[in-house]
Amino acid sequence: MINLELGGKGVFITGSGGEIGAALALGFAGEGAKVAVVDIDKSKAEATAHRIAQQGGRAIPLACDVSRWEQVHAAVERATSELGRVDVLVNVAAAPLLRAPVEDLPLETWQFIVDVNLQGTFYCCRAVVPQMKARRWGKIVNFSSTSGRRGAQEGSSAYGASKAGVIGFTSTIARELGPHAINVNCIAPGTIATARFWAGSTRERIEAHQQTLPLRRVGTPDDLVGIVLLLSSERASYITGQTITVDGGWLGL
């Protein structure tokens, strides 16, 4: 068994009231990390923190809208105070996939999606980097999407652009922060089976999509846990500036 040596690390995970973020929070807690469960919906953050506590782990729930700098700053300050420090930042929080042709896309919809997906990632990094620099140790894992690598579905220009921006932001700050012993990487998930995914499709369409994937199945939140834990550990200390696709082989076709 590989020891990732995450015990006692302070981990700040945005969007961890949702299914993907919750799976990650439980994974870190299972490795002995102290987790700040961060979500715009306080009740969802509390539910994830409760699950961690039931399994004997330590977690604090924090309400935070990542598109608001003052809320991000306050959440990081509280996490640092209660957990001792933030060693690992995982940016999962994402806006819903709101679709409209580019000529009809409401300006406020574009701004909302970019604010959450891209600006929220920037805000969280900005808030944690000073303490990581001071300790000369830190791990940042940003979440993009295969939509940021190949482009999103028609009508999803804001989502695709924001997720592509996360990839560019990741590779740029990896160069900037590397001399301070901070690793910055990105995950680009493909189709992941969450409640939002099931609600937005039909059984027939899902089965047809699965047949286009080399692994013949859509992913689950748990499929993302291992790679995020690895990138957050010293086992991946020579990996930075990378975007790792977790999509069942779809992008390779």
Specify the pLDDT at position 198.
63
Tell me what the pLDDT averaged over the chain comes to.
93
Specify the pLDDT at position 185.
98
Which three-class secondary structure state does DSSP give residue 176?
A: helix
Where is pLDDT greater, at 223 or 249? 223
As a whole-number percent, the residues of the chain with pLDDT over 90 amount to 77
As a whole-number percent, the residues of the chain with pLDDT over 70 amount to 96
User: Looking at the chain, how many residues does it have?
Assistant: 253
Distance CA 219, CA 189 (A): 9
pLDDT score of 7 more than 70:
yes
Minimum mean pLDDT range among 61-75, 109-123, 147-161, 223-237: 147-161
Specify the pLDDT at position 219.
87
Segment 78-92 mean pLDDT:
98
Q: What is the DSSP letter of 192?
A: B
**Domain ranges within the chain, ordered by starting residue:** 10-252
Q: What is the DSSP letter of 240?
A: -
Segment 49-77 mean pLDDT:
98
Task: Classify domain 10-252 at the CATH superfamily level.
Answer: NAD(P)-binding Rossmann-like Domain (3.40.50.720)
The catalytic residues are 159
Nearest to 62 by CA among 4, 10, 6, 139: 10
Minimum mean pLDDT range among 39-48, 112-121, 140-149, 199-208: 199-208
Nearest to 167 by CA among 191, 193, 198, 146: 146
Q: How far is CA 179 from CA 6, 30, 174, 232, 240, in A?
A: 22, 31, 9, 17, 11
pLDDT 10s digits, 117-166: 999 999 999 999 999 999 999 999 999 999 888 876 776 899 999 999 99
Which residues make Cβ contacts (< 8 Å) with residue 145, sequence separation at least 6? 152, 159, 163, 188, 189
Segment 209-236 mean pLDDT:
91
**pTM given for the model:** 0.94
Q: Are strands 182-189 and 243-246 parallel, antiparallel or unpaired?
A: parallel
Distance CA 228, CA 226 (A): 6
Q: Is residue 4 within 8 Å of 31, Cβ to Cβ? A: yes
